[in-house]
Amino acid sequence: MNLILTNAKLVSMVDGTSGYDPSNPCSIVIENGVITHLLPECATTLDTYVSFPHLDCKGAIVTPGFIDPHTHLVFAGNRAEEFEARLQGESYESIAQRGGGINSTVQATRTASVESLITLALPRLDSLIKSGCTSVEIKSGYGLTLEDEAKMLVAAKSLEQHRRIRITTTLLAAHAVPVEFRNDADGYIEYVVSTIIPYVAEHKLADAVDVFCESIGFNLQQTERVFKAAVDHGLAIKGHTEQLSNLGGTQLAAQYQALSADHIEYLDEAGVLAIAQSGTVATLLPGAFYFLRETQLPPIQALRLHKVPMALGSDLNPGTSPFADLRLTMNMACTLFRLTPEEALRGVTCHAAQAIGQQDTLGKVAVGYTADLAIWDIAHPSELSYQLGMGELKHRVVNGVIEDVH
Ligand code: NIG
Ligand code: FE
């Protein structure tokens, strides 16, 4: 799609500090959904592209469209009762051990049809869109059978038919041991690697494979079996690692060149070094940290020191992060993790793009990049992390197509 935006103050997120400083007003030329020219503002610009649809940004800030690189946005039911139990003192782990937690959402999701999963997902997606998203990663993991995992992935991908949005999908069959395999986690992993992963790869239902590597999830050997199967089937790797304890899942993910290691509150220096060397993104999920009232902070200073790119995700899910708002995520990252607003913005743009393996086309406003943009009613990009319910998104552009946001 062709489009010209004039009088735009770019926050390009290109490397280096200048990518965060709003540019002087300029024009963005988009041809066939790709940014082809960034031009200093001058009267002749519009004459050259007279046939293109035109938006006068009136000096508004234009950022890359936000990317949420970690969500569990497709699910049925909710876990408000467990929230109440946790407020009474029960832990997330103990709820999981008594058959609640992930497995309670599995029960609700298994009985839902693809259509009802889509209907339930759309308002959540709309909320993420309002917070600036043009790309969202969505994981399965509440089906835990071939049929139900495939159903979740199909529902997730088909959201692209309902909204202007880019969806990437991740198979998270290794999210919890389902009730039918109680006391046989190895048996379930065998089913995941021999049946679910080959089917999902063959039918191109997912871009990546994820594992919940944790005492209430899967151990290192089980995690490695899943990573190996992902590699064998040409799928990228992600990990829920070091969320509640330090098992070494992040280092294992680094060994397998994972795109990202996510959560990582309990990651130690050796783990940070491992992902620094493998080029794995650290995806921070402050919503889950906040909602679980976690006190162990992720090793932000070590990540900075070793120049590990930090992405931010909403982790939108019914159990640990029921928040469909990436602006809230940015605010939490600054207040709880002490990220700077610049780091937070990189976390939902260029670094989030890297976390989904699309850093060459998404996450920056630059010539040759896909024209996914967000146009904001703010004076400075720090306001995106600073305030909520103010400094609204005015327009969004997905693949060169403009949409007003109400
Ligand atoms: O990212 N940690 C595991 N998975 C999700 C929680 C899923 C759930 O509790 O439903 C997370 O926190
Ligand atoms: Fe998660």
Q: What's the half-sphere exposure (Cβ side, CA atoms, 13 Å) at 310?
A: 29
294, containing H or E segment: none
Average pLDDT over residues 276-282: 98
The verdict on whether residue 54 carries a ligand-binding annotation is: no
Helical spans, DSSP H, in 217-325: 220-232, 249-255, 269-278, 286-291, 300-305
Binned at pLDDT 50, 70 and 90, residue 48 comes out as confident
Q: Decide if pLDDT at 44 tops 80.
A: no
> How distant, in Å, are the alpha carbons of 69, 172, 173, 196, 242 from that of 253?
17, 15, 17, 20, 11
Q: Decide if pLDDT at 127 tops 70.
A: yes
Q: What is the mean pLDDT of the chain?
A: 96
The verdict on whether residue 246 carries a ligand-binding annotation is: no
Contact 8, 28 (CB under 8 A): yes
Q: What is the pLDDT of residue 234?
A: 98
Q: What is the pLDDT of residue 404?
A: 87
> How distant, in Å, are the alpha carbons of 134, 171, 173 from that of 168?
11, 10, 16
Binned at pLDDT 50, 70 and 90, residue 17 comes out as confident
Nearest of 30, 94, 72 to residue 287 by alpha carbon: 72
The verdict on whether residue 295 carries a ligand-binding annotation is: no
Nearest of 296, 305, 238 to residue 267 by alpha carbon: 296
Total H helices, total E strands in the chain: 17, 16
The verdict on whether residue 240 carries a ligand-binding annotation is: yes
CA–centroid distance, residue 378 to ligand 2 (Å): 31
pLDDT in tens, 310-352: 999 999 999 999 999 999 999 999 999 999 999 999 999 999 9
Question: Which ligand sits nearest to residue 70's alpha carbon?
Answer: 2
Binned at pLDDT 50, 70 and 90, residue 43 comes out as low
| Three state DSSP letters for 321-371 | ECCCCHHHHHHHHHHHHCCCHHHHHHHCCHHHHHHCCCCCCCCCCCCCCEC
Q: What is the pLDDT of residue 325?
A: 98
Contact 378, 61 (CB under 8 A): yes
Asked if residue 320 has its Cβ within 6 Å of ligand 1, the reply is yes
Nearest of 174, 269, 181 to residue 219 by alpha carbon: 174
Question: Which ligand sits nearest to residue 78's alpha carbon?
Answer: 1
Asked if residue 101 has its Cβ within 6 Å of ligand 1, the reply is yes
Q: Decide if pLDDT at 391 tops 80.
A: no
Q: Decide if pLDDT at 235 tops 70.
A: yes
User: How would you classify residue 90: left for phi > 0, otherwise alpha for psi between -120 and 50, otherwise beta?
Assistant: beta
Q: Which of 274-288, 342-356, 385-399 has the lowest mean pLDDT?
A: 385-399
Name the closest-CA residue to atom 9, ligand 1.
319
Strand partners of residue 289: none
Q: What is the dihedral of CA 305, 306, 312, 313, to 10 degrees?
A: -140
The contacts of residue 81 (CB under 8 Å, 6+ apart) are none
CA–centroid distance, residue 387 to ligand 2 (Å): 25
CA dist., res. 12 & res. 389, Å (int): 24
Pairing assessment for the beta strands 61-64 and 373-376 based on DSSP bridges = antiparallel
Q: What is the pLDDT of residue 370?
A: 98
Nearest of 65, 80, 71 to residue 33 by alpha carbon: 65
Average pLDDT over residues 269-291: 98
Average pLDDT over residues 121-145: 98
Share of the chain above pLDDT 90, in %: 94
Q: Which of 211-215, 238-242, 334-338, 390-394 has the lowest mean pLDDT?
A: 390-394
Asked if residue 288 has its Cβ within 6 Å of ligand 1, the reply is yes
Q: What is the pLDDT of residue 47?
A: 83
Q: Decide if pLDDT at 193 tops 80.
A: yes
